[in-house]
Amino acid sequence: MKPRRLIVVTVTALMVLSLFTGSHCLAQNAETVPDVPGNADARGVVLETVGITNITGEKKYPGTVKASRTAKLAFRVAGPLSRVDIKLGDAVKRGQVLMQIDPQDYEEIILL
């Protein structure tokens, strides 16, 4: 045989041998690995029934609450408060009456 023909025959034989070996390995893998459409890394799913339960644990997070906005109040006359129309934490609007001063003290001053 000529050297060139020997090389061609050897390369062809190796290619045919590789083809048969590769297809045999693929056939074995197809038997051991389940066919998963779309994702080869799919894993099993654990199902859990949803229900209502009582939570027994309690967590406490100590802290300090600070108002985001504050307003200073000023009065034209002094005197004790006779009425408070708001509670701590209530939202208020501009012009809303919050408290009322007892009118007896300043009415006496006006009459003098």
Residue-wise pLDDT for 7-52, tens only, equals: 888 889 888 888 778 776 666 655 555 555 655 566 778 888 888 8
Query: What is the per-residue pLDDT across 40-57, written as a single tens digit (0 to 9) for each?
Result: 566 778 888 888 888 777
Two tokens, residue 12:
């062809």
At residue 111, the pLDDT reads 78
Amino acid identity for residue 36 in this structure: V
The helices-and-strands tally (H runs, E runs) of the chain is: 2, 2
Domain boundaries, the chain: 1-34, 81-111
At residue 62, the pLDDT reads 92
At residue 59, the pLDDT reads 83
Which residues, listed in sequence order, are joined to residue 99 by a DSSP beta bridge?
A: 84
At residue 36, the pLDDT reads 57
Interatomic CA distance for residues 79 and 101, integer angstroms? 6
